[in-house]
Structure 1
Amino acid sequence: MSAVREIRRHSLAAVIPVICFAAIGYFAYHAMEGEHGINAYTRLTLQIQDTKAALVEVTGERRTLERRVGLLRADGLDADMLEEQGKRVLGLLRPGDRVILGR
């Protein structure tokens, strides 16, 4: 009977450390893999960098398009741009064509 009592006493003494290690493991896992964990933070940081790079690219493309549209406006109509767009719309401009305008 005393052996059973010794085993019970040692097992009860081991319960608290086991519960503490389980809690530490649970929180450590969720700190790494959870919705707001370190891995999620890293993924979001990379996504932000990719989005910023895409923003820079799209902003440059928008500026180019705005400049080209500005050349087609009536108050600042550029003859070269008008000819290029006319050929493109009419299907007369082929890849590799070079337009040389004489004045």
Structure 2
Amino acid sequence: MVVRTRFTSIALPLLFHLFSGAVGGFFVWHAFHGGRGVAADLQTRREIASVETQLKQVGAEKTLWDRRIALLRGPVVDRDLLDEEARKQLNRVGKDDLVVILANQQE
């Protein structure tokens, strides 16, 4: 009788602490590795930084093209840019141009 009471007084609190530790560990593990945990947050922040970098590059390219298009529009057209684009579109060269043909050039 005394052994059973002593075993119960030690085993019940021990089982309670083990169970609550396991439940707490479960929630802590999911707080870090779950779908909305710390690891997922870090991955999302990396993806956001990558997309923002791409956005800056595309914005710079858009600014470049806007500038070039503005030179071809309006009352005054940049003749050099117009000549360059016309030669590129028609696949022609000017009489004063120097043409260098490179071997094994891949596109």
| TM interval, short-chain normalised | 0.7 to 0.9
Let me know the Cα RMSD of the aligned residues. Answer: 2.1
Structure 1 counterpart of 2:14: 14
Q: How many residues align?
A: 95
Greater share of helix: 1
Q: Which of structures 1 and 2 has the larger relative contact order (alpha carbons within 8 angstroms, sep 6+)?
A: 1
Length-normalised TM-score, structure 1 = 0.78
Runs ≥4 residues deviating over 3 A: 1-10
Query: How far off its partner does 1:6 sit?
Result: 4.5
Amino acid at match of 1:52: E
The within-5 A match list for 1:1-103 is 3=3, 6-92=6-92
Distance in 1 separating the partners of 2:47 and 2:35:
15
Question: What are the ranges of 5 or more consecutive residues in structure 1 without an aligned counterpart?
Answer: 99-103
Length-normalised TM-score, structure 2 = 0.75
Distance in 1 separating the partners of 2:70 and 2:49:
31
